[in-house]
């Protein structure tokens, strides 16, 4: 839509005025790391973050989410979204949100996700610091971030604020914006294009080549056993991933044994019980019993299985899994390189 310029010293007052009129969520410091959290002061906002511990999907799809309360045969929906602004989302995380939007809107749309999503205005942000295991510049290059309403880019002396939707445009009234010059818009483009060269890791094959080769490697059990040999089955690589969306649903009953709440909780395909099903009579069957089978399943999901449905790989190259895995075996670049060379 439009491109505006905001002087460096005017960012704080802009964020302060947004805080006065809406719930505002953005990257904030947590000891030496960063998390997406509700802002209480403009100074909480840290657009110089590298990567947050958890992705911003938690704003629409929280780790634990009540779905309905029930009493006898009566059920009441827990959907109660509030208008909010999610400020400062890096492009790779916008792509993660795009993927979840696609998956949660398809088929039988997930209203519990969509209600929160549709009440949120997303402001993307340029990347001022690149995370230690990031490779977003070389993955899924056929997919461009689309789900944001505006995008803020830091340039010399201030910020270029580009609006994409009416929701993004509506934010402009709260700041001292002026129309951006052609030079300022060019500076923003140069900034966003150049930062990709700072990614410390890089995939050297196209998404299609990777998908073909990884799928062909499915039956190479020795390869998967070797790759997953140190896996602790902790599920951390699932939990930190912006595109993982599996959940478990449970009913919790009150003491009256009549009423209660049905909730969903993030699940992870690396966890031992993820693929365990009941056979009845106290018997169970686990169709991905061994850690290497679960490890392989995650790699297949990220590189291959969903590609046709979402238009590219289900990995946005944030590097969170590689950084979080205690055994240091979850980094997709290392995994893909090993498979491509096998």
Judged by CB under 6 A, the residue of 75, 208, 232, 277 near ligand SF4 is 232
Q: Using the rule CB under 6 A, is 302 a contact of ligand SF4? A: yes
Tokens of 275: 């693929």
What lies within 8 Å, CB to CB, of 152 at 6+ separation is 6, 47, 88, 123, 124, 125, 126, 159, 160, 161, 162
**Minimum separation from the CB atom of position 90 to ligand SF4 (A):** 11
- The CA radius of gyration of the chain, in Å to the nearest whole number, is 22
Nearer to ligand SF4, 100 or 241 (CB): 241
Pick the binder of ligand SF4 from 94, 203, 300, 329 (CB under 6 A): 329
Pick from 180, 310, 316, 339 the residue near ligand SF4 by CB under 6 A: 316
Range 158-197, binding ligand SF4 (CB under 6 A): none
Binding residue (CB under 6 A) for ligand SF4 from 65, 116, 236, 307 = 236
Q: Check binding of 246 to ligand SF4 (CB under 6 A).
A: no
Looking at the Cβ atoms of 14 and 245, the one nearer to ligand SF4 is 245
**Cα–Cα distance, 288 to 269 (Å, whole number):** 9
Could you say whether residue 56 binds ligand SF4 (CB under 6 A)? no
Of 45, 237, 310, 339, the residue at the interface with ligand SF4 (CB under 6 A) is: 237
The least CB distance from residue 87 to ligand SF4, in Å, is 21
Residue 256 beta carbon to ligand SF4: minimum distance, rounded to whole angstroms: 39
**Contact positions vs ligand SF4 (CB under 6 A):** 231-237, 240-243, 270, 295, 302, 315-321, 325-327, 329-330, 332
């Amino acid at each position: 839509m439009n491109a505006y310029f905001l002087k460096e010293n005017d960012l704080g007052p802009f964020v302060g005025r947004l805080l006065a009129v809406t719930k505002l969520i953005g990257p904030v410091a947590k000891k030496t790391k960063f998390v997406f959290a509700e802002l209480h002061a403009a100074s909480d906002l840290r657009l110089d973050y590298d990567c947050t511990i958890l992705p911003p999907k938690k704003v629409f799809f929280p780790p634990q989410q009540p779905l309905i309360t029930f009493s006898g045969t009566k059920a009441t929906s827990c959907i109660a979204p509030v208008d909010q602004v999610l400020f400062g989302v890096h492009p790779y995380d916008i792509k993660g949100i795009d993927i979840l939007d696609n998956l949660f809107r398809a088929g039988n749309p997930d209203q519990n996700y969509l209600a929160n999503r549709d009440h949120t205005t997303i402001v993307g942000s340029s990347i001022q610091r690149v995370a230690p295991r990031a490779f977003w510049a070389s993955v899924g290059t056929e997919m461009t971030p689309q789900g944001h309403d505006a995008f803020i880019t830091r340039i010399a002396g201030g910020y270029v604020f580009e609006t994409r939707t009416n929701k993004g445009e509506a934010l402009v009234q709260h700041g001292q914006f002026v129309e951006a010059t052609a030079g300022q818009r060019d500076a923003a483009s140069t900034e966003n294009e150049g930062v990709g060269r700072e990614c410390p890791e890089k995939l050297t094959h196209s998404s299609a080549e990777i998908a073909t080769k990884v799928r062909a490697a499915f039956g190479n059990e020795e390869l998967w056993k070797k790759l997953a040999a140190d896996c602790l089955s902790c599920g951390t690589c699932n939990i930190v991933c912006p595109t993982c969306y599996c959940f478990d649903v449970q009913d919790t009953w009150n003491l009256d044994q009549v009423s209660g709440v049905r909730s969903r909780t993030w699940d992870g395909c690396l966890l031992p019980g993820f693929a365990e099903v009941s056979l009845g009579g106290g018997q169970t069957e686990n169709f991905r019993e061994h850690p290497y089978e679960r490890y392989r399943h995650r790699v297949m999901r990220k590189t291959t299985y969903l590609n046709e449905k979402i238009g590219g790989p289900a990995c946005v190259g944030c590097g969170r899994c590689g950084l979080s895995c205690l055994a240091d075996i979850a980094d997709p670049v290392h995994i893909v390189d090993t498979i491509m060379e096998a």
